[in-house]
Amino acid sequence: MAGEGVDYRPMWAELGLDLPMHDALLEAVGGMYGQTFMTQANRPEGMGYLDFVMSEVHGLRIKELDDFRKSGGKVVGTYCLYVPEELIRAAGAWSVGICAGAEWAYDQVEQILPRNTCALIKSMMGFKLGKVCPYLEEADLLVGETTCDGKKKAYEELGKLQNMYVMELPQMKRAKDVAFWRSELVDLIAKLEALTGKKVTAESLKASIKEVNDKRRALQRVNAARAADPAPISGLDSLLAVQVAFYDDVPRFTQMMNALADELEARVADGVGVAPTGAKRVLITGTPMALPNWKLHQIVETAGGVVVGEEMCTGSRYFEKLVNEDASTLDEMLDDLAAKYLDINCACFTPNEGRLDDVVRMARNLKADGVIDYSLQFCGTYQIESTAVQKTVHDAGLPVLSIDTDYSAEDVGQLSTRVEAFLEML
CA-CA distance, 212 to 192, in Å (whole number)?
18
Q: Which of 84, 150, 235, 315 binds ligand SF4 (CB under 6 A)?
A: 150
Order across the sheet with 141-145: list the strands: 94-97, 75-78, 141-145, 164-167
Among 177, 321, 411, 412, binds another protein (CB under 8 A): 411
Per CB under 6 A, the list member of 57, 76, 81, 274 interacting with ligand SF4 is: 81
Q: Tell me the window of 54-62, 103-111, 114-122, 182-190 that interacts with ligand SF4 (CB under 6 A).
A: 114-122
Rounded CA-CA distance 195/142 in Å is 11
Question: Is omega for the bond preceding 351 within 30 degrees of 0, making it cis?
Answer: yes
Contact partner at residue 232 from ligand SF4, another protein, none, CB < 5 to 8 Å by partner kind? none
H or E stretch covering 39: none
User: Considering only residues 316-375, where is the footprint of ligand SF4 by CB under 6 A?
Assistant: 344, 346, 348
Query: How many residues are there in the chain?
Result: 426
How many residues in the shown chain lie near another protein by CB under 8 A? 10
Distance, first Cα to last Cα, the chain: 38
Report d(CA 52, CA 47) in Å as an integer.
9
Which residues lie below 8 Å from residue 415, measured CB to CB, with a gap of 6+? 295, 296, 299, 403, 405
Of residues 280 through 309, those in contact with ligand SF4 by CB under 6 A are: 287-288
Q: Which of 15, 50, 120, 209 binds ligand SF4 (CB under 6 A)?
A: 120
Q: Which region among 22-30, 74-82, 219-227, 325-333 touches ligand SF4 (by CB under 6 A)?
A: 74-82
Contact string (CB under 8 A) for another protein, positions 233-262, x = contact: ------------------------------
Single out the segment in contact with ligand SF4 by CB under 6 A; choices: 79-87, 125-133, 210-218, 361-369: 79-87
Per the DSSP assignment, residues forming a β-bridge with 166 are 144
Note whether 171 binds another protein by CB under 8 A.
no
**Which CB atom, from 65 or from 120, has the smaller least distance to ligand SF4?**
120
For 7-14, the CB contacts below 8 A with 24+ separation are 8/58, 8/59, 8/62, 8/63, 11/62, 11/63, 11/66, 11/134, 12/58, 12/62, 12/134
Closest CA to 190 of 145, 149, 143, 151: 143
- State the binding partner of 411 from another protein, ligand SF4, none, CB within 5 to 8 A by kind: another protein
142 belongs to the binding site for ligand SF4 (CB under 6 A): no
Residue 151 binds ligand SF4 (CB under 6 A):
yes
Positions in the binding site for ligand SF4 (CB under 6 A): 80-82, 118, 120-121, 147-148, 150-151, 287-288, 313, 344, 346, 348, 376, 379, 381-382
